[in-house]
Each structure stands twice: as C-alpha cells, then as structure tokens.
Homo-oligomer: A and B are copies of this chain.
C-alpha cells in the first residue's frame, strides 16, 4: 500500500465517531440493543481485554466474579423457560452450534420462509439442505406452521426452525402449534427469538421448543455481539459436549464464547430487560397506532394486521415517486429524517423500509409522524 494511502487510512482511525448518536432511533436492528446506564458503566469497568476472566477457573459460564455463573445457570434459564442456558457470540452462532451438534452434512432442516439469512448461512456452513415453508406472499407474508407437517413427512429432516418474529415483517407465527407438531414427529425444534427475547414475554417450555435463541445486541440492551441459547436438558450432552482432552471445555464454544465486554453489558442490563418484557402490552398498541398514522399518509404496512410487534415494514409509493425525481435518489429520505433528528430507514431506502417503535414513546412517534408529513409537503 502506498505510504500516502496508508497515512490517510490511519488518520481515519484517529477520529471514530458515530453519526447517529442522540437521534430518535427507529432502526429495527438497534431499538432493542440500546444500552442501559448500568451497561454503559460496565463498558468502562470491564473494557480492558480479558477483564471478565480475572477469576476464571476454566470456563466462562462458571465464573463467579463477576457473577456469570448465577446469570447463565440461574437467571437465564428462568427467563427463557428452559433447563440449560449458555452464552454465544450471537443468534447466528447459536443456530450454527445447534445445527453442527445435531445434524450431519447432507442432512436437512425445515425452516420458515421468513427466516433470517443467517439461518441459511449457518445451515450451509454445516452442509445441510434447507427446506422452506413458504410464506403467504404479499402483503401479509405470514407463515402457517401447519405447513411444516407435510414437509417433515416428506423430507424427514434432522431439525426444524421457526423465526419468531421474523426480522423483515415482524410477523408472529404460531410457535406453540409448531411445538405440538415437533412433538408429534419427535423432531428437535429451534425457536429463533432474536426479536422476541428481551422485548416480549417468550417461554421455551410453554411453546414446546427444544431450543430458544436470543440476541443481546438486537433485543437485550447489550453491546454487540452477544447471544443466548437455551435448551432442554436432554440436549445438553450433545450441544454442550466437552472436549475429550480438556474436560471442562465446551467443544461448540471452543472453550469459552464471549470472553469480554458484550457479555457484561448483557448482564448489567438484564434486570431492566427482565422487567421491560412485562410491559409488552404497551408496545403493541403503540406500534399499531403508529402504523395506522403512517398509512393515513399513503404508506402501506406489510405483514400481519393487526400487527403484534414493534417491527414494521412499509411500502411507501409516495416517497418512491419523490426519490425518482430528486438528486439524492433514495437517500433523500435518510437525509430529510436525519435533519429532523430521526434515524430509522436504512440509508438509500425510500420505496420500502422498516421501522421499529420499541425505543420511543408516543410523543416522539408523534414527532416522527409530523416529520413524515413535513417531508411529503416539502416535495409535493
């Protein structure tokens, strides 16, 4: 690399700043991951390298100071409704480790048509065939879990997985019904709750799943990346199997997973997160009201109606029309919202975009609705 380019790249590292700090945040990937004050404090406290491992006795989930053991072995199972829990680098890494433990290359997995792309990539990494239960298509894109049964009979897969809710439409499929189907066919059932665990009440046992997966940075007020994996006791021996030569080391975690600060933020935020899921009944009407208000502006909410999650997907033909005739193209929406102190749709998207109402109150949402009105007026 030329010296000049190198210096320029180094210079950029000297001033790393986040452009969206302090804005009203409607970004679905981010609204459930904003840190609590307690989490901010532990960022500094445990920021240095391997700080969480000061009192390591050989296994991350057994560390008693800080109280990782209590958190993972007592609080998390109770919270997730499972018998055994562990910490992963994130939801995708949890999916991979379950698939890698239970399935063999050439095996197959049945997944919902609204699965996250990482479900596919994790299955590819293991070498699994992916069989998809299609969604209902535009505009609801809903998944009928009864459709799993036929595909299970036809393909005899090793595993099934359901995304609850999905990250594209915020649809909440009938996870409990799929639990019955899983039991009927005696097939291990993974519930990917990256947008559920930490936002809304969800209980693996009640649903009848074998595995439940959550994301710290998506929905548990944690720094990224960190995830949680809960399971039935019967799977512990397979998924948390120990090394043949190092008997206290989990093979699938390569010994220990998140040996650093994201885990501590997850722990520091947990009392708050545990409490906030009890207030989910305030989140749903807020999202529905916001959706209805945006529909009055000519936007069209995709996914289930009435909607039962804060993640909302809109088609916005009126904004698309504007984007076709302005210099910034699709970026005009990002720019207009940012100027009004709002961060939400992915930069570049105007025709169709996702928003989450999770982190803001009705007053702020009113401000957002007014901002959309003002933008429409400006370009009309």
User: Which residues in A have some Cβ–Cβ distance to B below 8 Å?
Assistant: 1, 5-6, 9-10, 12-14, 16-21, 27, 29-30, 32-35, 38-56, 65-67, 70-71, 74-75, 77-78, 89-90, 92-93, 96, 100, 117-118, 120-122, 124-125, 216-218, 221-226, 243-246, 249, 251-252, 254-255, 257-262, 264-265, 267-268, 270-271, 274, 343, 346-347
Contacts and interface: CB of A to CB of B under 8 A. Distances in A.
B74 A254 contact: no
A30 B49 contact: yes
With most chain B CB atoms within 10 A of its CB, the pick from A32, A38, A48, A252 is A48
B18 A251 contact: no
In the A-B complex, list the 6 residue pairs whose CB atoms are closest, starting with the nearest: A33-B49, A224-B260, A49-B217, A9-B70, A12-B67, A92-B254
Nearest to A51: B18
A248 to B, nearest CB: 10
A25 to B, nearest CB: 8
Given A16-B66, A75-B10, A260 B48 contact: no
B78 A1 contact: yes
A162 to B, nearest CB: 19
A67 B9 contact: yes
Contact of A243 (B51, B121, B346): B121
A126 to B, nearest CB: 10
B16 A54 contact: no
Contacts of A74: 1, 5-6, 9
16 contacts: A6-B74, A6-B78, A10-B75, A13-B271, A16-B45, A18-B66, A19-B65, A35-B48, A49-B216, A56-B346, A89-B93, A89-B257, A120-B243, A121-B246, A124-B245, A261-B262
Nearest to A69: B9
A335 to B, nearest CB: 13
Contacts of A262: 260-262
B49 A218 contact: yes
Contact of A13 (B30, B33, B71, B89): B71
Given A34-B49, A78-B1, A118-B254, A225 B260 contact: yes
B251 A217 contact: no
A261 to B, nearest CB: 5
Contacts of A245: 117, 120, 124
